Structure 1
């Protein structure tokens, strides 16, 4: 169980690190009045988060039931979201609520949309290929049913 939480924490840290890198690029690499460039960096951050979660859903979905890896991903995304929204702006010297409640909640919805879309794409690709945990269980069950029955030994 301890290893499971360590994995969730590492994933949350990685997702938060992606956000920190994006914030630092926006803060030091983009001029203050270029909001289009900052929007492109933010879009890139959301795409990277989606790709990371799609890859993990694809990888974890092969050998774990959906309930287990889904709960792990949801916990990691929730922790990373809280860090991103509340701690991330403080790292670059801003207040989390500096741009108003609309921007604050928009960031939450965009983060949830990107993480949900990435996870869904990864799992749908895995399911379409028939490599998910449930499909593999059903395949083994069908193979076991089609095998030759055990021969009864008489004494």
Structure 2
């Protein structure tokens, strides 16, 4: 369970951001104002991307790529599904009102979250601080010392 806790936290963070944006639009009474709804949705989408990027960077430093994909990917998928299916229910909407809209939301949130995590992973990799780069540096130091002994 301890291994999956960060993924659960990332997924719940995505869900909370989405629900908070839905509540802000609902409570402010701007559900009919397309511009206000778009602005709140844009901020929520940016926040979701940033959370996914931080998660991707955090995992990249500590885990190999296959663990990043499995653990973070599962958290992102869980967060996206919660945001799409449970989020509307919290503010009194029907998530199954339109199949096209449902699929579009799933794809959009998955792309935003996936790109955010990928950008976070790439940033860490770019600076050589990811798990594999650190391992290769340790190997290089080890074999460099052996070579100098000969």
CA distance in 2, matches of 1:136, 1:50: 26
Secondary structure of 2:4's aligned partner: helix
Secondary structure of 2:2's aligned partner: helix
Aligned-pair RMSD on alpha carbons? 1.8
Deviation, 1:73, is: 1.1
Residue 119 of structure 2 aligns with which residue? 121
Residue 130 of structure 1 aligns with which residue? 128
Question: Taking structure 1 as reference, are residues 151 and 144 closer, same or farther at Cα in structure 2, changes over 3 Å only?
Answer: closer
Deviations 1:54-98 (A, max 9, x none): 112112211210111221111111111221111111111111122
Q: Which has the larger radius of gyration?
A: 1
Is 2:15 the counterpart of 1:16? yes
CA distance in 1, matches of 2:72, 2:146: 41
Is 2:68 the counterpart of 1:87? no
Deviation, 1:150, is: 9.0
Is 2:145 the counterpart of 1:147? yes
For the 8 Å contact 1:30–1:38, the answer to whether it is kept is: no
Unpaired stretches in structure 1, ≥5 consecutive residues:
none
Residue 64 of structure 2 aligns with which residue? 65
What is the TM-score when the length of structure 2 is the normalising length? 0.91
Unpaired stretches in structure 2, ≥5 consecutive residues:
none
